[in-house]
Structure 1
Amino acid sequence: MPRKGSRKVRTGCLTCKARKVKCDEGKPHCNRCITTGRACSGYATKPSSGLLWNRPRQLFQSIDSASEGRALHFFCEKTAQFLSGATDPYFWTHLVMQFSNFEPAVRHSVIAISSLYEQFQAEGEKSHSGVQLRDNSLALQHYNAAIRELKTTDNHPLVLLVCILFICIEFLQSNKEAAIQHCKHGIALLEDANYSWAREHLLPVFRRLSSFPFFFGTGSIDFPDLVSVNSPLPTSFDDYIDAAADSYRFGDLRYKTVSSDLLEEQKVVENLLDEWQVLFKGLDTRSMLPTTPTTEWYNLGIEFIKAMSRAILLVRYELSRITLAIAFEANEMCYDQYLSGFQRALDSCLLVDSVLPDGSRMPTTKREPQFIFETGFMVWLHLIATKCRVLSIRLEALRLIRVLGVPRENLWELDQVYALARRVIEIEHGVVLNDEGQPATPVQCPGLPPDEKRVRFTIMEPKSSTYIDLNGKEICGWTVGFVMRDERDAIVTRNEFIPA
């Protein structure tokens, strides 16, 4: 007997669509998701302007070769699922996938990303310093094709979308200079993008990307103008997705009077953080827990997702407040005024650690994914480990870098971040740490280290290097300059080779 047909529902929530199950289409969140303890991701909306929405009947039409088809399939099944890390995957799993059907520039970029990502995953530890286009003919061919396509269009939303994809390609290659230029270009274009679609879906991505040039740039020339990514806070947060000046500290302006304009701007940002905190406290934590492909892959469970979703935002908030408060301070002792903030940030991470299933505590080299596009916990834990001078707090942060970090978070490399934080702790407290990150020798400075023993910042060579030890063994690592001030307040740089 032939199977009885049924009407296929195409208007269900995004979560039910991804799971390929029928949705009851309850609003604002469907009952099927709520009763199964899943996060209902809501319903897709048609963009009002800019790129037109198009959902072809056949996925990936007009594929020219088997290698292209395989790369697109791998992107759909693997790459897009993991690039977002712990954040909402909608951009990669839905928007990019759909536009790759009818925009050649997007499709070429997707093939390049997929091929580089697969190579990155396959090479494991060997690729953590980046894979290269020149070594991947398929990726190189399609990256060049995407550039050619962009030269023939004046469609700003399309250029903005592909700009994000280009940044991902440069992240995979550890090419910080090109990634910064793409980021600055995209943020500049946002100022002229009067399309509601682009501002709704692309602005949040660029807002998160806007911070990395400040970490990896070599000076103010690399810092993007953030006017185009500024927008007022909403009246309330609907979900966790919504909630998502060195010269005065180290340069010639040290101990100089800070201009009234800068102090006023500091106060404005402080008020915005206050508003964010109020809105965040009013967020309903029961119905907005973003189950991502990564959390489902590891079967992490609703308690982990709940803890992670709140923790990543609370950590960013606490450390943003501290960074803002010390922006114009002249020495490193200023961080000691905010030890309670560091402790609150660490407590949020420890809560995530406490609900992480034992089955997910595997060596980083065996984890999937090896690379994510977004910034996760790693950079914030590194900040706690290097700027909070309470030894017990920073040792816990050091441990959690390995537990909660991904081998590569955009340009942040876990092995490098861990080794650098570990060495800063050793220098400031006069101690040697073992492989578990615990003191292996007596601690010469168990309390808060004096200002002249504190590392202001580090200067690291962009590429790893090797040297031969006394036993003829090749050691891989990085050449690092630890910038400090001595007892006479003079700048000194302590150069060392840090083994990986």
Structure 2
Amino acid sequence: MDAPVRRSRASKPKVRTGCLTCKARRIKCDEGKPECKRCKIGGRKCDGYLPAQEGMLAIVPKQLIGVPAVTLPGESRALEFFFHRSAPLLAGFFEGAFWNGSVLQLSLAEPAIRQAIAAIGSVHEEQGLKRLEDSNVSSAGPQTAVQLYNRAIRLVIARANVDPNAIPAVTMASILFTCFEFLRGNAPAAASHITSGVRLLQEWRDKTGTQPVGPWGQSHKSFESQFMETELAPILSLFNLNTCEFGPGQRSRVILNAVDEHGFLVLADKFEDLREARVALVDLVTSTSVLFSNMDESVGKGQLPDTNLVTVFSGMRNNLDRWKANFENLVDRKGATWDKAQRSAADNIRIMWCSTEIGIISYTVGTETAWDAHRDSFEQTLRLSESLISDTDRYPDDLSKTLSLDLGLIFPLHAVAWKCRWPRLRRRGLDLLLRSPKREWLLEAERYHALFTRVMEFEESALSVPFIDTPDADEEDFLPPEHARIHDFYCQPLPNTTSRTGNKYTLHAVTFETKPDGPHGEPRYHTECIRMPTTTSQIVGKGDQGDVEVIAPLTNLLSIKQWAKPELTDMQTASLLKGVVFGLD
């Protein structure tokens, strides 16, 4: 019998000239022009094509290509760890094209980028091993990470000094350096790199005349400008916002959508994809934060808002309402076609919106029990958080929860654990804090869990009968009274109280503020020591012996600006200003 003829599949060269959208989605493109049919059929915006013979190498100055690499011991291992574990983690829901694509491509040509990502992989593995207490696996070590990091910085500085065209590559390096410092807990250094990246973005816009003139996502004059505005700028914007709000960052801000002559954001009439909606929301929160800071400055000088500022605040509220309507319209139009990853990304945006609403509510409530009117917001926050945290594809193990730079769960969950009186909802919020990514930016979920567990215990101690979660327990019978509620807290780590064996714990002196005589009565204070887990210390500077590390105090993430506090202005002024901003009587 003749042997069966083995058929071979026809071999065709791999096409690498598809549109940018299909490349990001890693699917075959039909290469239709000016936009491909695959994008049209899927209802997606086709981002067009790269110029011939160009790609990520277009942003690399010619003298950077081919620079010989100097490999340190452990660098290869750190690179492998970065691409398999760190990049997917840092990409989050929206920045896969950058972390899984552009960074890889540029690292093949630019040693500084390669060494920066190796430094991230090395320090990430080290942090993960410390958390998991896995003594059987060794990483490249912190010394290698710092060597790689310092070498990358020196290379980038040298190139920036001799080549003005290296702005995109140097901006990418600023983002990588920021992530390295976030992982190390070095708040000042992270803020400095973000400030540098924002300055480079503005310098690029000024140099090329590419200031935003319309809604984000517009066409760009060159691949470099498209790369700067669609890949780098959204990351810088989110980094900058979170560092300014929850850390020691500078107050310079970056806006991706255009701003009209009245100071209003120019948003699209309708969103075409989730990333566009997310960028718009980050812009809105950023611009609102700037307005609130300006208001604080005016009130500090004894000035009430002028007519122009009233108009600007009115426009801010209108833009928030418009964003919500546009997002709901996007979900109605395209939600049925989304895959699991896109549905999760939409939930992430909803969590961001919940956080925005919670931030606004914190200005409008007059008493702690007034939060009761927002139970629906608490329940939605818990429902969305549960869905995101339970995704085993995204979080297959504890290492995948080492750090999140876009999830944003600590803020809304800590609000549920603190401000919600319903015992079952509070306990769900505390449980989700423990199950969420352990760190976001410079915030540690486990520490907030420890603090607000104690807040709940303190408030519920005023009940005549302790709450026991049984099927027949009526939550209405176990709501802490107003006089027992914690209005504010002040937290300070105690020196020389950190455990050095196993998990690290530090004693914190926490002062709780209550108002037993009513919301306008004199506050009373009670201080106690609380043992909190501390997985990372925070580097605050340099000393004679090297890095100076401290345990950063927990901060009140719901702290409102001075202009809205009656005790810092007066009742009439605070009411007037909140009426201007939020339309309250």
If the TM-score is normalised by the length of the shorter chain, which range does it land in? 0.7 to 0.9
Amino acid at match of 1:89: G
List aligned pairs for 1:89-488, cutoff 5 A.
89-125=96-132, 136-152=142-158, 153=160, 154=164, 155-194=166-205, 196-197=225-226, 198-217=228-247, 222-226=249-253, 228=255, 231=258, 232-244=266-278, 259-260=305-306, 264-283=311-330, 284-286=333-335, 289=338, 302-303=339-340, 305=341, 307-327=343-363, 332=368, 335-350=371-386, 356=390, 365=398, 367-403=399-435, 405-430=436-461, 446-447=478-479, 449-450=481-482, 453-461=485-493, 465-466=497-498, 476-486=505-515, 487=517, 488=521
User: Is the contact between residue 45 and residue 273 of structure 2 (CA under 8 Å) also seen in structure 1?
Assistant: no
SS of equivalent residue, structure 2 residue 204: coil
SS of equivalent residue, structure 1 residue 234: coil
Amino acid at match of 1:385: A
TM-score (norm 2): 0.64
Please state how far the C-alpha of 1:17 moved relative to its aligned partner: 5.9
SS of equivalent residue, structure 1 residue 479: strand
Relative distance call for 1:251 and 1:415 in structure 2 (3 A) is farther
User: Is the contact between residue 451 and residue 530 of structure 2 (CA under 8 Å) also seen in structure 1?
Assistant: no
SS of equivalent residue, structure 1 residue 498: strand
Q: Give per-residue Cα distances to partners, 1:266-303, cap 9 Å, x unaligned.
A: 433322211111110111344774xxxxxxxxxxxx55
Distance 1:429 1:247 in 2: 36
In the alignment, structure 1 residue 70 sits paired with structure 2 residue 77:
yes
Please state how far the C-alpha of 1:401 moved relative to its aligned partner: 2.5
SS of equivalent residue, structure 1 residue 210: helix
User: Is the contact between residue 422 and residue 476 of structure 2 (CA under 8 Å) also seen in structure 1?
Assistant: no
Amino acid at match of 1:379: F
User: Is the contact between residue 373 and residue 409 of structure 1 (CA under 8 Å) also seen in structure 2?
Assistant: yes
Greater displacement, 370-379 / 112-121: 370-379
Distance 1:358 1:69 in 2: 28
2:580 aligns with: none
Please state how far the C-alpha of 1:147 moved relative to its aligned partner: 1.7
SS of equivalent residue, structure 1 residue 496: strand
Unaligned runs of 5+ in 2: 1-5, 211-224, 259-265, 279-288, 534-585
Distance 2:497 2:98 in 1: 36
User: Is the contact between residue 187 and residue 228 of structure 1 (CA under 8 Å) also seen in structure 2?
Assistant: no
Q: Give per-residue Cα distances to partners, 1:283-328, cap 9 Å, x unaligned.
A: 1344774xxxxxxxxxxxx55x455222221222133123135447
| Aligned residue pairs, count | 459
Amino acid at match of 2:305: S
Please state how far the C-alpha of 1:164 moved relative to its aligned partner: 1.2
User: Is the contact between residue 479 and residue 496 of structure 1 (CA under 8 Å) also seen in structure 2?
Assistant: yes
Relative distance call for 1:120 and 1:352 in structure 2 (3 A) is closer
TM-score (norm 1): 0.74
In the alignment, structure 1 residue 497 sits paired with structure 2 residue 530:
yes
Unaligned runs of 5+ in 1: 290-301
User: Is the contact between residue 466 and residue 474 of structure 1 (CA under 8 Å) also seen in structure 2?
Assistant: no
- Please tell me the root mean square deviation across aligned C-alpha atoms, in Å: 4.8
User: Is the contact between residue 494 and residue 508 of structure 2 (CA under 8 Å) also seen in structure 1?
Assistant: no
2:572 aligns with: none
Greater displacement, 452-461 / 176-185: 452-461
Relative distance call for 1:344 and 1:76 in structure 2 (3 A) is closer
Distance 1:150 1:463 in 2: 38
Relative distance call for 1:273 and 1:359 in structure 2 (3 A) is closer
Relative distance call for 1:151 and 1:84 in structure 2 (3 A) is same
User: Is the contact between residue 63 and residue 69 of structure 1 (CA under 8 Å) also seen in structure 2?
Assistant: no
User: Is the contact between residue 273 and residue 317 of structure 1 (CA under 8 Å) also seen in structure 2?
Assistant: no
Relative distance call for 1:44 and 1:78 in structure 2 (3 A) is farther
Relative distance call for 1:377 and 1:82 in structure 2 (3 A) is same
User: Is the contact between residue 247 and residue 253 of structure 1 (CA under 8 Å) also seen in structure 2?
Assistant: no
User: Is the contact between residue 119 and residue 146 of structure 2 (CA under 8 Å) also seen in structure 1?
Assistant: yes
SS of equivalent residue, structure 2 residue 530: strand
Relative distance call for 1:203 and 1:357 in structure 2 (3 A) is closer
Q: Give per-residue Cα distances to partners, 1:43-68, cap 9 Å, x unaligned.
A: 67538999825799xx9995433733
User: Is the contact between residue 82 and residue 121 of structure 2 (CA under 8 Å) also seen in structure 1?
Assistant: yes
2:14 aligns with: 8
Amino acid at match of 1:388: C
1:296 aligns with: none
Question: Which of residues 31, 46, 50 in structure 2 aligns to 1:46?
Answer: 50
Q: Give per-residue Cα distances to partners, 1:423-452, cap 9 Å, x unaligned.
A: 2222233389xxxx979xx99982254166
Relative distance call for 1:430 and 1:28 in structure 2 (3 A) is farther
User: Is the contact between residue 417 and residue 429 of structure 2 (CA under 8 Å) also seen in structure 1?
Assistant: yes
Distance 2:85 2:168 in 1: 26
Q: Give per-residue Cα distances to partners, 1:68-110, cap 9 Å, x unaligned.
A: 3333333223321222233342211112112222333322211
Distance 1:206 1:89 in 2: 15
Please state how far the C-alpha of 1:465 moved relative to its aligned partner: 4.5
Amino acid at match of 1:394: R
Sequence identity (%): 25
Distance 1:123 1:426 in 2: 31
Relative distance call for 1:372 and 1:456 in structure 2 (3 A) is same
Please state how far the C-alpha of 1:19 moved relative to its aligned partner: 8.9
Relative distance call for 1:205 and 1:116 in structure 2 (3 A) is same
Please state how far the C-alpha of 1:413 moved relative to its aligned partner: 2.4
Please state how far the C-alpha of 1:498 moved relative to its aligned partner: 2.8
Distance 1:390 1:205 in 2: 37
Amino acid at match of 1:166: F
Distance 1:7 1:497 in 2: 64
User: Is the contact between residue 121 and residue 369 of structure 1 (CA under 8 Å) also seen in structure 2?
Assistant: no
User: Is the contact between residue 285 and residue 306 of structure 1 (CA under 8 Å) also seen in structure 2?
Assistant: no
Distance 1:390 1:191 in 2: 47
User: Is the contact between residue 18 and residue 29 of structure 2 (CA under 8 Å) also seen in structure 1?
Assistant: yes
1:83 aligns with: 90
